[in-house]
Amino acid sequence: MRSGDLAGAIGRGLVAGAVGTAAITVSTMVANKLRGQEESLTPVKAVEKLGDLEPQDERAERRMSNAVHWLYGAALGVPRGILGALGMPRVASDAVHLGMVWGGELTMLPKLDLAPPPSRWGPAEIALDGWHHLVYSAATGAACSFLERRSAAASAA
């Protein structure tokens, strides 16, 4: 893969990851509303554990959590962009991406002591969490595929 191709894949992945982040945000907001839950502050809690960052108050904590959520979601689109640029078929790229994203969450959050291990979750929680990550990965994959087709058409012209 040439550096220009890699740069394009990274750019497409970032944009597609932002689209996926919008989708998972809507999915979790709807679920939280239906379940009477507040938005998660897990993104900022992870940053607090990994770095020397402490929001000044609850409002700053919510803003920072939202920013981390969007940055992380956009960044997680990059591997999907690269998989597509490497010529992996869409369904395979989407499946690998879903496994990477959801698997990363299922291992990282317990290691940071931000969530119990999945073995202690109930079936409904696992299904809902899987659903949210499927929504993210499907939206990211669809956006990435769209951008790949546009890029190919522009190159052919």
pLDDT category at 53 given cuts 50, 70, 90 is confident
* pLDDT for the residue 47: 87
Mean pLDDT across the chain, nearest whole number?
93
| Average pLDDT value for residue range 58-81 | 94
pLDDT of residue 2: 67
Residue 110, Ramachandran bin (φ over 0: left; ψ between -120 and 50: alpha; else beta): alpha
* Percentage of the chain lying above the pLDDT 70 cut: 97
Q: Is 151 exposed, middle or buried (0-12, 13-18, 19+ CB in 10 A)?
A: middle
- CA proximity to 135, closest of 57, 25, 46: 25
Q: What's the pLDDT score for residue 136?
A: 98
